[in-house]
Amino acid sequence: MELDGNLSVETLDASCEGENSPAAHVTILVCSSCRDETGSDAHPRAGAKLAESARAAGENHGITVRSVECLGNCKRRLSAAILRDGSWSYVFGDLAITSGDDLVTGAKLFATSTDGLIPWRGRPDSLKRGLVARIPPLDLIKEDK
Ligand code: FES
């Protein structure tokens, strides 16, 4: 399995997805408050344009796109997250207003993932270079004793 960097991870219980399981529901969150590289306060903000790009790309693919005010990733400019129930959550930065297609490509890969991770292979470059963090689902966390 190819992973982000050299981190080793536990995979989710195989019962969460089988090879013939229908695609899981994936949601893209886009920060609509992010400014462009000039820092302009003009509206619509660059983040709102990215959200619109993702909405347009996600139409007819069953991908939900929601706008949020801030993902706390402002220093990495245009930011978005990709979430799937019971799976890892991903935060991305350094996106462009035209990255909507890349976000939807990543979301579609995630929807059919069998291990609860967005596959590295086939992931758009912007979602490789722009990865800020991935957060495991609570169910995967084992309590320290
Ligand atoms: S304003 Fe977009 S992440 Fe904070």
pLDDT digits (tens, 9 = 90+) for 93-138: 999 999 999 999 999 999 999 999 999 999 999 999 999 999 999 8
Find the DSSP H helices in the chain. 46-58, 100-111, 125-129
6 pLDDT above the threshold of 50: no
Say how many domains are in the chain: 1
What is the pLDDT, as a whole number, of residue 145?
A: 54
The Cα–Cα gap between 33 and 88 comes to 24
Ligand 1 pocket check for 91: Cβ under 6 Å: no
Is residue 142 domain-resident?
no
Domain that holds residue 23: 2-137
Is residue 144 domain-resident?
no
Ligand 1 pocket check for 32: Cβ under 6 Å: no
10 pLDDT above the threshold of 60: no
Is residue 145 domain-resident?
no
What mean pLDDT comes out for the span 2-18?
A: 36
CA of 75 to the centre of ligand 1 (A): 8
What is the pLDDT, as a whole number, of residue 141?
A: 84
Ligand 1 pocket check for 71: Cβ under 6 Å: yes
CA of 33 to the centre of ligand 1 (A): 6
Assign residue 121 the CATH number of its domain.
Answer: 3.40.30.10
Is residue 143 domain-resident?
no
DSSP notation for 73-92: -GGGSS-EEEEETTS-EEEE
What is the pLDDT, as a whole number, of residue 30?
A: 98
81 vs 3, higher pLDDT: 81
Average pLDDT, whole number, for the chain?
86
pTM over 0.75: yes
Is residue 65 domain-resident?
yes
